[in-house]
Chain A
Amino acid sequence: MSPLLAASGPVIPNFGGAPSTYACERANRLFCADWVTRNWSSVLWPALRQHIVLTVIAVAIGFAISTLLALIAYRRGWLERPVLIVTSILYTIPSLALFELLAPSFGLTRTTAEIALVSYTLLILFRNTLTGLREVPAEVKDAAAGMGMGPMQSLLRVELPLAAPAIIAGLRIATVTVISLATVAALIDNEGLGVPILTAISGEVFKTELITAGAMAVALALIADGLLVLIQRWLTPWTRAGR
């Protein structure tokens, strides 16, 4: 059955060094900095990178869909109610349930995770974009028309820029929500910061990994939020006036 081994058997290396190197892990202390350094490139960084990709794709697609829907609803008001109802239902379904419901149709893949994550962004992005557009003062729109701008020009050069703060506020909420939910997505496609979190709790809880991965998720969310704030300030400098 199995081919003959050399009499001495395989070479078993000293994995990573003497046992004392791993004293912190074996004692399961709160935070083992050595573990983090040792496992950064093989466990933590790939998880972080995957998490960022998951988030960016979900928010980008969600933004595209909801902006399109909001622009249509802006012109055709009847669309608002059905879109709100559908996106609200999607938003209400708990993440674990939504992932599982999509899995049979789309497999245990990134696609399933992305579809679910996109669904969670639609409500807030749609509402914020539509409300932002609607809150553009009528006088401003009149002035634009008075200057000879057509509806498309007015939209692009006046209304959307004025709606930008609301849109970006929505983007902030959506992005942070997706970053948080993507940890559960790890169940489906084994990607993202949810993987080290789930690994850490799969036996006796390994505190270092749990805390590190959890802290990375929170940090990612806060950094993303901060970046979006900076982007908004860059795009709409007039909102800073008079603060």
Chain B
Amino acid sequence: MTRTLKVIAAVLALASALAACGGSSKSSSHASSSPSTTTSTSGGPGAGKPPVTIGDKNFTEEYVLGELYAEALQAKGYKVTVKGNIGSSEITYKALQAGQIDMYPEYTGTLLTAIAGITTPPQSAAQAYDEAKAYVQKQGFTLLDPTPFYDSDALGTLKSFATKNHLSTISDLRRFGSSLRLGGAPEFATRFEGLIGLKREYGLNPTFVPLAIGLTYTALDSGKVQVADVFTTDPQLTTGKYTVLSDPKKVFGFQNVAPVVKQSVLSAEGPAFAQTLNKVSALLTIPAIQRMNAAVALDHQSPAAVAHAFLAANGLL
């Protein structure tokens, strides 16, 4: 073969490879691609509707929730992309406002304190939901039905530390003053459902140690911090090694999850959209979400596989 022909052949091969990859990359454009991405059913109420982007925040439970909602929608024929691991609430909400995502699962209490910036905490889960919904509706979004489970922040310690110091409630920590090392995600320091609230309601004044969310339990184990911000549905809390201190003043609020969705997207996608999402949310009890978190965080299964198994077992696929 002459040289020119060789070059042309190489370029053609490369171009066709690129075209093939480029074509298939659209449907697999989310990193935690679910097993059902390629089997998006034809027909079903979602067929022909505009594609939807679901975002999720930067921790395990959110990845699971994102996948649950995405796969349930895909089973009904919707075209869904998951934009995973965007960041904290503040950043993810901004992505929603900027139109980079169409919806994401949010915690009602966090929405109120971190995003709406309220200073008087709600007194019940129902109130938290209603106030959060009212807030987002003013901005062109809405909240779908909340989940039965709530996942609040809490202060956790090693059980040995709690027993030794007779700790059962957060106010018991006051006597440590600033010698108490408290660890949490960076945003914990600036939130009411965090250091601000702890200082105001309980008079705590600890030394704050910023931690990446996933390193909480490692830090507790190693003694880097004595107390840390944990989530009540963390699977590590079921091992018996850690104690959660009670929060009588409800600083950490009520934290049911509800999808925040753009109102225009809701209308464009049709009624089956919200119905499907609400059906999924209704199934999410505390034991269910804890088992899913455990499968992902402890067994290192992929959120997609775990969500798939759960939805299949409950007839939503």
Q: Which A positions have Cβ atoms within 8 angstroms of B?
A: 1-3, 5, 9-13, 15-16, 19, 21-22, 25-26, 35, 38-39, 41-43, 46-47, 49-50, 52-53, 56-57, 60, 107-108, 110, 156-157, 161, 186, 190-192, 195, 198, 202-204, 206, 208-209, 231, 234-235
Contacts and interface: CB of A to CB of B under 8 A. Distances in A.
Contacts of A16: 295, 299, 301, 305, 309
Nearest to B37: A46
Contacts of A12: 287-288, 291, 310, 313
B282 interface: yes
Nearest to B126: A1
A191 B310 contact: no
Interface stretch (B1-9, B153-161, B190-198, B225-233): B1-9
Contacts of A53: 21-22, 25
Contacts of B166: none
A21 B213 CA distance: 27
A110 B4 CA distance: 34
Interface of B: 3-4, 6-7, 10, 14, 17-18, 21-22, 25, 28-35, 58, 60, 83-86, 95, 98, 100, 126, 129, 145-148, 212-215, 217-218, 278, 281-285, 287-288, 291-292, 295, 297-302, 304-306, 309-310, 312-314
A182 to B, nearest CB: 13
A203 B295 contact: no
A41 B35 contact: yes
Contacts of A46: 28, 31, 33
A12 B86 CA distance: 28
Given A9-B287, A195-B31, A202 B214 contact: yes
A2 B148 contact: yes
Given A1-B129, A22-B299, A60-B18, A235 B10 contact: yes
Contact of A10 (B83, B126, B314): B314
Contacts, number: 149
Contacts of B302: 39, 42-43
A218 to B, nearest CB: 20
Nearest to A3: B282
A22 B4 CA distance: 56
Contacts of A47: 31
B299 A15 contact: yes
A24 to B, nearest CB: 9
13 contacts: A2-B147, A2-B281, A9-B287, A10-B284, A13-B312, A15-B306, A16-B299, A35-B300, A39-B301, A56-B14, A107-B98, A107-B100, A190-B30
Given A11-B313, A108-B86, A204-B214, A42 B288 contact: no
Contacts of B304: 42
